[in-house]
Amino acid sequence: HDQSEQIFKPKARYIEAAFHSFAQENEVVFEFKYLSGILPARPDQPDGHEKWVWGYGDPSDGEITNIELSTQHILATLHQKGPFVGIVGFSSGAAMAAIIASHLEKRSMFNDQPWVTEHSALRFAICLSGFRLGPIYDKFYEPTIRTPILLAIGSYDTVITAEDSHSLAKHCQFARIFEFSGVHYVPQFKESRDFRKTLNDFLEEFLFDPPAQQAPRLSTQAGAIVRSPFNTRPFLRTYRRRREIAVASGFTKRWAISALGNQVAANSITSASV
């Protein structure tokens, strides 16, 4: 929380680099578009302030005030700027990424909500220090989320603990886990090599081929040491040219990915989730 697209973008530079590395090997182009939250981090926040959140409240067991406004805003952006194939989020943004992925694959369950969208289900979500919301939001997690999700977990994170992230993973049919020796931050230089490999394997598995026929499993990729709520988000558009038809037809297939940070933080973790 307490961030904006201008603040979050530098923190995500190694995430972008990992995508670009994959792009070079697979004839894909990724374009990131960062989007700030729509709610002021503090009621007395002056105009022009760069700190925003996606909602207010206790994410563990209470209701998140104004989460419906942020959800509607994100879905509208997906519709207007997309289509997108994936979403990336950090901390509370990762919690929101999972919610958006769930909503898009279970649209019929949310017809009573004002934020209905025609956007298709995403091909993947990447949740960095992600967690699930409290029982009041169980319908986002039951039935389990089928959109493939890669979770990055800092083994020494005390803001969003490994247990919190694993709790989210249990509600994802196609969960892949990257654990690193770190705390509450987006994977940086020292984790970049291992994260890049994990992301590459994950995208190879899910970006081009949907998981409909794949058997669910939980897999873990270790970082430097093996162990084991809504901010800004970059939206990626991807374009993949298939080698086998590129020369014959010049065909280019358009892909899209969206990413979220930790700006939809709850009051209980406001000062700790930066």
Q: Write out the DSSP string of 35-89.
A: E--SEESSTTPPTT---EES-BS-TTTS--BTHHHHHHHHHHHHHHH---SEEEE
111-115, 170-174, 192-196, 265-269: segment of lowest average pLDDT: 265-269
Mean pLDDT rounded to a whole number for the chain: 75
pLDDT band at 266 (very low <50, low <70, confident <90, very high): very low
Domain boundaries, the chain: 5-269
- CB neighbours of residue 113 within 10 Å: 14
Segment 194-216 shows an average pLDDT of: 81
Residues 220-247, mean pLDDT to the nearest whole number: 37
Better-scored residue on pLDDT, 248 or 111 = 111
Give per-residue pLDDT as tens, 53-65: 767 887 777 788 8
128 near 96, Cβ under 8 Å?
no
The per-residue pLDDT for 188 is 93
Instruction: Return the closest-CA partner of residue 187 out of 54, 28, 17.
Output: 17
Closest CA relative to residue 93, chosen from 120, 110, 74: 74
Q: Average pLDDT for residues 171-184, to the nearest whole number?
A: 95
Q: Which two tokens stand for residue 180?
A: 């690193």
Work out whether the CA dihedral 4, 10, 15, 20 comes out positive or negative.
positive
What pTM, to 2 d.p., does this model score? 0.77
Find tokens 């879905």 and name the residue.
Answer: 75
Confidence (pLDDT) at 27? 84
Q: Give the list of residues 6+ apart from residue 248 with CB closer than 8 angstroms, or none.
A: none
Phi, then psi, of 29 in degrees rounded to 5: -120, 125
Percent with pLDDT over 70 in the chain: 68
pLDDT at 19 over 70: yes
Mean pLDDT of 206-215: 69
Helix (H, G, I), strand (E, B) or coil at 144: coil
What pLDDT, on a 0 to 100 scale, did the predictor assign at position 246? 30
**What is the reported pLDDT for 29?**
81
**Residue whose C-alpha is closest to residue 262's, from 254, 253, 272:** 272
pLDDT at position 160 over 90: yes
Question: How confident is the model over 83-132, as pLDDT tens digits?
Answer: 888 888 888 889 999 999 999 988 666 655 655 677 889 999 999 999 99
- The CATH superfamily of 5-269 is Alpha/Beta hydrolase fold, catalytic domain (3.40.50.1820)
For tokens 């509370």, what's the residue? 92
- The fraction of the chain above a pLDDT of 90, given in percent, is 34
